[in-house]
Amino acid sequence: MTLNRTKLADQAYDAIREDLLSGRRFLPGDKISVEELSRGLGVSRSPVWSAIARLEAEGMVEVRPRQGVFFIGFDIKRLREIFTVRAALEGLAARLAAQRATPDEIAELERSIAHQRDLIQQGEIEAYTLEANRFHTRLTELGGNATLTELVAGLWTRSTAMCLRRNRKGGDFDERTDEHVEMVAAVARHDSDAAEAITRHHIHRLAGSIRDGDLD
């Protein structure tokens, strides 16, 4: 992939971030060659280093003096901490969504759930994982708090990066999707307490599956 000669740092950031999260080339803990990235993108090292700086700030990569750049490694203690915070923030977002979501927005979430069901039936686990994330992202956005949405997105990015290829074993995807149904039902009836409690339970249950390597 060769980048256009405009906004190179932004384009390099988008390309490298997508490459890391795809799991096609790098796994958690892998060393990342800035030289190879530069050659692959057809740019100098400067925009690549700018992208690396942003990814480091997001917690996706680590720059170690005299060692190089490394993709964030799997750290079960850190993951559990992240999921604890996710539960609190996504629970709050669901509470806010229950207060303001429109029928059209609720229908959008329901269509996402139907798509999740289809992907599970087809055995498309990677696609299911992406759709589940889109569902969580959209539910958070419906809370109407941009700062909250940004914080949750950052936490999701870190936990997803740490767990690449750890969600390929099957897992309880039907149960997860059933919980998505419960979350949307609470939002649809504008039950803020239930929406927050169900969402918190959902995230905590995902955290409990870390030891088995089954996360969405």
Residue 147, pLDDT score: 96
Residue 212, pLDDT score: 46
What torsion, rounded to 10 degrees, do the Cα atoms 12, 156, 162, 122 define?
-100
Q: What value does the mean pLDDT of the chain take?
A: 89
The per-residue DSSP string of 39-53 comes to HHHTS-HHHHHHHHH
Residue tagged 């996504």 (tokens): 90
Give the integer Cα–Cα distance in Å for 174 and 168: 14
Residue tagged 């609470």 (tokens): 186
User: Domains (ranges, CATH) in the chain?
Assistant: 8-71 (1.10.10.10), 76-212 (1.20.120.530)
Q: Is the pLDDT of residue 216 over 50?
A: no
Residue 175, pLDDT score: 92
pLDDT tens digit sequence for 128-145: 888 998 999 999 999 999
Quick check: pTM over 0.75?
A: yes
Enter the DSSP assignment of 168. Answer: -
pLDDT tens digit sequence for 162-211: 877 665 444 688 999 999 999 999 999 999 999 999 999 999 988 887 65
Residue of 64 and 216 predicted with greater confidence? 64
Residue 59, pLDDT score: 87
Residue 213, pLDDT score: 46
